[in-house]
Amino acid sequence: MNKDLYVALKSLNLKATPKRLAILDILVAESVYLAPEEVWRKMRKRFKSIGLPTIYRNLEDLANGGVLIKIIHPDRKLYYYLCANADHHHHFICINCKKVEDLSYCGAEEIEKEVKKNLKGRVISHLMQVFGLCKDCSVSRTIAT
Amino acid sequence: MNKDLYVALKSLNLKATPKRLAILDILVAESVYLAPEEVWRKMRKRFKSIGLPTIYRNLEDLANGGVLIKIIHPDRKLYYYLCANADHHHHFICINCKKVEDLSYCGAEEIEKEVKKNLKGRVISHLMQVFGLCKDCSVSRTIAT
DNA sequence: TCGTAAATAGAATTTATTTCTATTTAGATA
DNA sequence: TATCTAAATAGAAATAAATTCTATTTACGA
Ligand SMILES: [Zn+2]
Ligand SMILES: [Zn+2]
Ligand SMILES: [Zn+2]
Ligand SMILES: [Zn+2]
């Protein structure tokens, strides 16, 4: 189990329960975003008894603590993704295979400038997500179902 | 009633029913995004009998036809907004009064470049929304509840 | 080892959204 | 203008994601 994650849990005052660690373990192994129900299915292979509310609660707590990022998907369902990159950045999300890749580009400064100058408003946060087909998915024309 | 909207409905093969026109009328009058239920409440002042499914169906049809834009909100609820600006652009959303304002800035080209060059992927769409306090709301410290 | 706050299971619930069916209506056509 | 038909609607019912609740269990500091 990843040492950094252990430390992260500590600093969030979250106990290192077997279930919580397993959820993280599942997400670490994936480079795709997962719905709570998908995490649940994977968890059921490891635990004989595991409730869906436990999955929801943990994913949300971990996202609030910054350990996971929440994907704001056009389908409006919940998805979570464990991103190792701690700096501010955005993501390219493959809508076919659900792989997530980091983007370095972020227009925060330009946005800030425009909002301040033209709208006389104040930026609190910005959301940017790019959807598309990753390298593999745009080469093979096979679309996952 | 706005002539352009009439024409837009025609081109989408959507009938100009009183309810549909009233929904548009309500949205034209607002510079804020509205949830289906909020539109419904306003509609109930105009029609003695008006079903919520009618609201949902119309908002969705109009959004699919490009007449309305759907706000992808972090709270994952549905919101719609009638934006007069037909060109590609993004929005600044006031989290206090829910006012929506157009932004001219869009990093599409830079994103496109990075995804193509570094990730070898293909961009299908991008989502950008800026949240903050509009001019009025950042001046008056009164936060709506 | 013990005590306690945190975490969990499992059932029940909430609520936004969608589906279904019978009825009505807009708007084209004769 | 009267008629016709596909589109639109009402209202009830269903769906399903997400959350709440309560009793029980557990992690972990003292
Ligand atoms: Zn892919
Ligand atoms: Zn950014
Ligand atoms: Zn405002
Ligand atoms: Zn853009």
* Residue ranges of chain B whose CB lies within 8 Å of a chain A CB: 72, 74, 76-78, 92, 94-95, 101, 103-107, 110-111, 114-115, 119-135, 137-138
Q: What is the pLDDT of residue B57?
A: 98
Domain match, B80 and B90 both = no
In chain B, the percentage of residues whose pLDDT exceeds 70 is: 96
Same domain assignment for residues A72 and A125:
no
Residues packed against strand C, CB within 7 Å: A 13-15, 17, 19-20, 47, 49-51, 53-54, 57-58, 61, 76; B 15-18, 35-37, 52-53, 56-57, 60, 77-78
d(CA A81, CA A125): 19
Higher pLDDT, A75 or B123: B123
pTM of the model: 0.86
Checking if the pLDDT of A111 tops 80, the result is: yes
Say how many domains are in chain B. Answer: 2
CATH number of the domain within which A35 lies: 1.10.10.10
Point out the nucleotide closest to B51 (alpha carbon to C1′): D10
* A52 and A69 belong to one structural domain: yes
- The last residue of one of the domains, among B84, B100, B117, is B84
Element (H, E) at A92: strand A90-94
Boundary (domain end) residue, out of A62, A84, A106: A84
Residue A3 has pLDDT above 60, yes or no: yes
Lowest mean pLDDT across A1-5, A120-124, B13-17, B58-62? A1-5
Question: Do B67 and B111 share a structural domain?
Answer: no
Mean pLDDT of A90-112: 94
B99, pLDDT greater than 50: yes
A78 and A129, same domain (yes or no)? no
In this prediction, residue B144 carries a pLDDT of 52
Interface of A with B (CB under 8 A): 70, 72, 74, 76-78, 92, 94-95, 101, 103-107, 110-111, 114-115, 118-135, 137-138
Distance CA A76, CA A19 (A): 26
Please give the full DSSP string across chain B, using - where no structure is assigned. Answer: --HHHHHHHHHTT----HHHHHHHHHHHT-SB-B-HHHHHHHHTTT-SS--HHHHHHHHHHHHHTTSSEEEE-TT--EEEE-----SS-EEEEETTT-BEEEE----HHHHHHHIIIII--EEEEEEEEEEEE-HHHHHS-PPP-
Residue A78 has pLDDT above 60, yes or no: yes
The pLDDT confidence band at residue B120, using thresholds 50, 70 and 90, is very high
| Confidence band for A64, pLDDT divided at 50, 70 and 90 | very high
Q: Is the pLDDT of residue A31 over 90?
A: no
Query: What's the pLDDT at B113?
Result: 97
Q: What is the CATH number of the domain that holds B119?
A: 3.30.1490.190
A52 and A5 co-located in one domain: yes
Query: Domain range spanning residue A136?
Result: 86-145
Q: Are residues B75 and B5 in the same domain?
A: yes
pLDDT tens by residue, B1-50: 577 888 889 999 999 999 999 999 999 998 899 999 999 999 999 999 99
Q: Stated in angstroms, how far is A12 CA from C17 C1'?
A: 35
Name residue, tokens 């306003």: B42
Which of B72, B130, B132 minimises the CB distance to A74?
B72
Q: Out of A41, A60, A84, pick the residue that ends a domain.
A: A84
Q: Are residues B54 and B104 in the same domain?
A: no
Cβ-based contacts under 8 A for chains A and B: 124
3-state SS assignment for residue A36: helix
